[in-house]
Amino acid sequence: MLFNSAIFVFLYLPIVWIGYLLALRLPWARAGIAWLGVASIFFYGYWNPAFVPLLVVSILFNYGVGRLLDPQVWNASPRARKGVLAAAVALNLAALGYYKYAGMLVSSFGALTGIATPVVDVLLPIGISFYTFTQIAYLVDAWAERRPEKSFTAYVLFVTFFPHLIAGPVLHHAEMMPQFLRGDRALRYALALEGLLFFACGLAKKVLIADSVAPAANRAFTLAESMPIGFVDSWFGSLAYTVQIYFDFSGYSDMAIGLALLFGIRLPLNFNSPYQSRSIVEFWRCWHMTLSRFLRDYLYIPLGGSRHGPARRQVNLMLTMLLGGLWHGAAWTFVVWGGLHGLYLQVNHAWRHLVEKSPPLQRLLARHARPAAFVAWALTFLAVVVAWVFFRAESFGGSANLLAGMFAGTASVDAQLADLHTEVYIAVGLLVAFLAPNSQQLLTGAGEKLVSRFTAPRPFLQGVHAGSLLFVITALVLISVSWGTNEFIYFNF
Amino acid sequence: MNSSISISSVLRALAGALTAAALLAVVLEITLRVLPTVNGVHRESPHTSGVASARLIANHDFTWSLGWDMRHVIKARTNAMGFISPYDYSAGATAVALLGDSFVEAQMHTYDESLAGRLDARLGSMRAFNFGISGAALPHYLGMAREMGARYRFDAAVVVVTGMDYEEGFEAKEGLYRWAADPQRELISLVPAVERSSVVAVVRELALVRYVRANLKLTAGKVFARHDETPCEPRRLSAVDLRRLAEYVEQLPAAMHLQPQRVVMVFNSGSNADLYERVDRGRARRPACETRDSLALAELRRLAAASGMKVIELDELLEPHYREYRRALDFKPVDSHWNGTATALVAAKIVGMLAPLPTHAAAPAP
């Protein structure tokens, strides 16, 4: 069930929301979160019921291991507890590896050795990367903090809560559990209205911009798989994808945040105007922020982070980015994308080091602060666009054909992909991404205003705002359905 | 909303929500009336026009645009018969009958870029009479051939057959011919049109309704449809199907008093999305699945060729062009109808097949 589908917006969401309101009135304190847990598992099963048992087994296993890591339950030695943790993490990764990477590994082995290998075609359970990572983080924290979650109902909801289950944000249990378990059982209207605002904003990003430029990006990348395409076509396609992925994923994240707010839950922010970044380091602080946080806390820092000198830091950084790339998908192009960003980060750190050691360079940059900032932004954006080519292309041949078109102008065909409408959408998308405040900046302010307005009991006005938002959401869903309700890009990861 | 909220508060909130929605609907209606929303392509009422089979409103300006953002705006006019053509059809003219569905009707083209317009430009003084109507299928083409064959003298006919044309022929669509239950008694029958109430007529004229139905191409079924891959369920043609198709091939040229050799059947049974995938990736987009429709169209193609009709398989025509230029042949992703490039290719092929044109093709235009 997609957030932009009619069945989700017009049927599933109202039923779950009203059911939640009713559940809050029941005497059982956790009826609300139990209802949301059941509804979330239904949401997951609607896509493919065959994978519900896998999700349930994963939840039971990790909850059980979490309980085992509680010293009050099992008073074992630190070494034994660490062993249990390592085994549990390995099992989680093994399941992820089987479902996501088996095909890639087998075919790569065959390609490297020349041995004929069978085609391994394992259907990827949707959201497996997200719920596996969420639970690995939980286990590590349970082991380190020795405070694993006791409430099974809350744990189920933490993993399955439908706004984040399929494509994140990647949650940290410490920021979610208190919200699920708080005593406050009244749903605040202002928060729900802020949620509708976020949802409408995310839906607009997805439907009006991302879906409008997606066909151009798809055409360009598909063509590039078979032949070099022209300069204009390749830039048109790569910029279309640059716009598409930002508005698609940040739109999804806004919708997820909005949906959670409808139930009084705040999810962490995932984007902070990444295309306005003036360095790759800054870009990674603003792009898919919850994944960056996860990779930092559970991979980069455990690897040693920057604690063992600059050389080791570079290795750790590169390893983190390579694995981060691989996390996105079972293809070597994702690894190259991650590696490219690892390289960018190393260049970025080297440049910073150079500036720190060179007072004349510092003075030069200070004297020309505005042009320097512009050049820094332009270089960062260009580097990101080039890296997206590897992220989107289906093969290295496709990436090479597109990059050759972008930088060498080689082409065997002029497919004339550009059309005025898509050019306008790309231009609008880029201008918004470069110059406009992001939805969090816009809506947090608006949300606060709304909160203050709705503290006074003015039901008619509350209804006017909700009715307006629902009208806009309905219109956007109808437009989305007319496109054929496109999936979100990150559903594939 | 606090859980202890009163009923009156809920009612007031509901009133507020409905008021806001109504006001926004009015604003949107006014805005859409200013913008080039699809307009004026309604069917003529058979109860006022006296024509039972479906036509557009005669001598009527219409606007066509594509998708939610109303791209590719076309403004054109129907002729006195309610078909899309810049001229009225004259009984004395030497003409080629053009039968088909929306691909032939061509609301999405300027006349010059439509198949009829392209043929007109290439046929010299001979005219292409466009009898295409959206939603039509094989039985309707035969029905129109009968109706128009009784009225005009054709030199040739072009029938554009698109995917699902056999299967959709079983659906009851008002004003269109459908397959009759027993092909031995009667091959086709006309589904009578229903007279609409004035309320429905007013609702259909609302810009909001036109936008949702024509620009967004939405129906209730489409809004709530699941997009699962439907499993392939291989079918076989029954004896009744085979008899129906054989009758069809026999009756179609006869209905227009033509030799089979003067009928060109254009089979547009594949999709351009499949064609692009096949060429760009070198593989099929989805596994081949023989349905009753695909089998029926293949059988129709075989029977038509065997009877002497000229047959064009569109994939064979479009694929080499796409392979060479890689330029779109339709309005995808918003609309899968042929664009001007495709109509030019199809028209050139048809004219090549009809050549040599008869001597009276050079007669003065009607």
pLDDT digits (tens, 9 = 90+) for B242-301: 999 999 999 999 999 999 999 999 999 888 888 888 888 887 777 778 889 999 999 999
User: For residue A26, what pLDDT band results from cuts at 50, 70 and 90?
Assistant: confident
Whether residue B17 and residue A470 make contact (CB cut-off 8 A), yes or no, is yes
**B1 touching A, CB under 8 A?**
yes
A 220-239: CB under 8 A from B: 222-223, 225-227
User: For residue B150, what pLDDT band results from cuts at 50, 70 and 90?
Assistant: very high
Q: Contacts of residue A484 in chain B, CB cutoff 8 Å?
A: 227, 333
The pLDDT tens digits for B326-336 are 999 998 878 88
Radius of gyration (Cα) for chain B, nearest Å?
23
Q: In this structure, what are the phi and psi dihedrals at residue A325, rounded to the nearest 5 degrees?
A: -65, -45
Active-site residues of A, by number, are: 328
The pLDDT tens digits for A84-95 are 999 999 999 999
Whether residue B16 and residue A471 make contact (CB cut-off 8 A), yes or no, is no
A 13-72: CB under 8 A from B: 21, 24-25
- B189, pLDDT greater than 70: yes
Q: Which residues, in sequence order, are bridge partners of residue B133?
A: none
- A438, pLDDT greater than 70: yes
DSSP labels, B106-175? -TTS-GGGSHHHHHHHHSTT-EEEE---TT--HHHHHHHHHHHHTT--EEEEEEEEETTTTGGGGS--TT
With a CB cutoff of 8 Å and minimum separation 6, the contacts of A241 are: A213, A217, A220, A221, A388, A389, A392
Q: What is the pLDDT of residue B234?
A: 65
Query: Which of A226, A417, A395, A392 is CA-nearest to residue B282?
Result: A226
What distance in Å separates the CA atoms of residue B111 and residue B77, rounded to the nearest whole number?
10
User: For residue A281, what pLDDT band results from cuts at 50, 70 and 90?
Assistant: very high
**A379 touching B, CB under 8 A?**
no
Q: What is the pLDDT of residue B357?
A: 56
Hey, what are B349's tokens? 């092929």
B269 or A13, greater pLDDT: A13
Q: How far B15 CA sits from the closest chain A CA (Å)?
A: 7
What distance in Å separates the CA atoms of residue A421 and residue A145, rounded to the nearest whole number?
54
Percent of chain B with pLDDT over 90: 66
**Burial of A288 by CB count in 10 Å (0-12 exposed, 13-18 middle, 19+ buried)?**
buried
Distance of CA A441 to the CA centre of its chain: 19
Interface test with A, best of B68, B70, B271, B324 (most A CBs within 10 A): B68
**B197 touching A, CB under 8 A?**
no
The secondary structure of residue B56, as a DSSP letter, is: B
Helix (H) or strand (E) holding A95: helix A78-96
Q: Is the dihedral of CA B256, B258, B264, B267 positive or negative?
A: positive
Q: What is the pLDDT of residue B366?
A: 34
Q: What is the pLDDT of residue B42?
A: 81
The secondary structure of residue B355, as a DSSP letter, is: P
What distance in Å separates the CA atoms of residue A97 and residue B279, rounded to the nearest whole number?
33
- A456, pLDDT greater than 60: no
Query: Which of B239, B241, B259 is CA-nearest to residue B250?
Result: B259
Q: What is the mean pLDDT of residues A5-25?
A: 93
Q: In this structure, what are the phi and psi dihedrals at residue A446, rounded to the nearest 5 degrees?
A: -65, -40
**A91 touching B, CB under 8 A?**
no
A 457-486: CB under 8 A from B: 457, 459-468, 470-472, 475, 478-479, 481-485
Q: What is the pLDDT of residue B344?
A: 96
Q: How far A158 CA sits from the closest chain B CA (Å)?
A: 24
Asked if residue A8 lies in contact with residue A1, where contact means CB atoms within 8 angstroms, the answer is yes
- B92, pLDDT greater than 90: no
A 197-216: CB under 8 A from B: 212, 215
What distance in Å separates the CA atoms of residue A390 and residue A403, rounded to the nearest whole number?
9
Q: How far A222 CA sits from the closest chain B CA (Å)?
A: 7
What distance in Å separates the CA atoms of residue B74 and residue A460, rounded to the nearest whole number?
44
Asked if residue A20 lies in contact with residue A263, where contact means CB atoms within 8 angstroms, the answer is yes
Query: Which of B326, B335, B351, B320 is CA-nearest to residue B109?
Result: B335
Of the candidates A7, A416, A421, which has its C-beta nearest B224's C-beta?
Answer: A7
The size of chain B, in residues, is: 366
B 322-361: CB under 8 A from A: 325-328, 332-334
Of the candidates A185, A460, A472, which has its C-beta nearest B12's C-beta?
Answer: A460
Of the candidates A185, A223, A479, which has its C-beta nearest B326's C-beta?
Answer: A223
Distances (CA, A) of A180 to A124, A157, A159, A324, B2: 29, 8, 12, 29, 18
Q: How far A91 CA sits from the closest chain B CA (Å)?
A: 32
B 134-173: CB under 8 A from A: none
User: For residue A447, what pLDDT band results from cuts at 50, 70 and 90?
Assistant: low
Query: Could you give the dihedral angle defined by the CA atoms of residues A230, A235, A237 and A241, in that order, rounded to the nearest 10 degrees?
Result: 160
pLDDT, chain B, mean: 89
Give me the residue spans of the domains in chain B: 1-34, 90-190+226-354
Hey, what are A480's tokens? 């989305």
Q: Where do we find the tokens 């390579």?
A: A322
Q: Where do we find the tokens 């390749």?
A: A234
3-class state of residue B348 by DSSP = helix
Q: What is the pLDDT of residue A42?
A: 96
- A146, pLDDT greater than 70: no
What distance in Å separates the CA atoms of residue B146 and residue B12, rounded to the nearest whole number?
61
Whether residue B16 and residue A187 make contact (CB cut-off 8 A), yes or no, is no
What distance in Å separates the CA atoms of residue A42 and residue A441, rounded to the nearest whole number?
33
Q: What is the mean pLDDT of residues B73-90?
A: 94
Q: Contacts of residue A11 in chain B, CB cutoff 8 Å?
A: 224
What distance in Å separates the CA atoms of residue A203 and residue B152, rounded to the nearest whole number?
54
Whether residue A186 and residue B25 make contact (CB cut-off 8 A), yes or no, is no
HSE toward the beta carbon, residue A294, CA cutoff 13 A: 26
Q: What b/e string do you get for B54-92 counting C-beta neighbours within 10 Å, with b at 16 or more?
A: bbbbbeeebbbbbbbbbbbebebebbebbbbbeeebeee
What is the CA angle B72-B78-B80, rounded to 5?
Answer: 175
Q: What is the mean pLDDT of residues B144-160?
A: 95
User: For residue A150, what pLDDT band results from cuts at 50, 70 and 90?
Assistant: confident
- A370, pLDDT greater than 90: yes
Q: What is the pLDDT of residue B360?
A: 45
Query: Which of A300, A298, A388 is CA-nearest to residue A340?
Result: A388
Q: Which residues, in sequence order, are bridge partners of residue B338?
A: B330
User: For residue B3, what pLDDT band results from cuts at 50, 70 and 90?
Assistant: very low
Q: What is the mean pLDDT of residues A280-295?
A: 95
Size of interface A-B (CB pairs under 8 A): 120
Q: Contacts of residue B2 in chain A, CB cutoff 8 Å?
A: 186-189
Which pairs with CB-CB distance under 8 Å and at least 24 residues apart come from B202-210? B204/B42, B206/B29, B207/B29, B207/B32, B207/B33, B207/B37, B207/B39, B208/B25, B208/B28, B208/B29, B208/B32, B210/B32, B210/B37, B210/B38, B210/B39
What distance in Å separates the CA atoms of residue A405 and residue A224, rounded to the nearest whole number?
9
**B279 touching A, CB under 8 A?**
yes
The pLDDT tens digits for A172-218 are 888 888 888 876 656 677 788 889 999 999 999 999 999 999 999 99
B47 or A15, greater pLDDT: A15
Whether residue A482 and residue B279 make contact (CB cut-off 8 A), yes or no, is no
Q: What is the pLDDT of residue B355?
A: 79
Q: Which residues, in sequence order, are bridge partners of residue B156?
A: B96
What distance in Å separates the CA atoms of residue A321 and residue A300, rounded to the nearest whole number?
9
Q: What is the pLDDT of residue B195?
A: 79
Q: Given phi > 0 = left and psi -120 to 50 = alpha, else beta, which region is B282?
A: left
**B302 touching A, CB under 8 A?**
no
CB A10: neighbour CB atoms within 10 A? 15
Q: What is the CATH number of domain B90-190+226-354?
A: 3.40.50.1110
Of the candidates A219, A467, A481, which has its C-beta nearest B222's C-beta?
Answer: A481
Query: Could you give the dihedral angle defined by the CA atoms of residues B56, B57, B58 and B62, in that order, rounded to the nearest 10 degrees?
Result: -90
Q: What is the mean pLDDT of residues A35-60?
A: 94
Q: What is the pLDDT of residue A83?
A: 93
CB B206: neighbour CB atoms within 10 A? 15
The pLDDT tens digits for A318-348 are 999 999 999 998 899 999 999 999 999 999 9
Of the candidates A222, A459, A468, which has its C-beta nearest B280's C-beta?
Answer: A222
User: For residue B103, what pLDDT band results from cuts at 50, 70 and 90?
Assistant: very high
Q: What is the mean pLDDT of residues A226-252?
A: 94
Q: What is the pLDDT of residue A445?
A: 64
User: For residue B129, what pLDDT band results from cuts at 50, 70 and 90?
Assistant: very high
Q: What is the pLDDT of residue A451?
A: 55
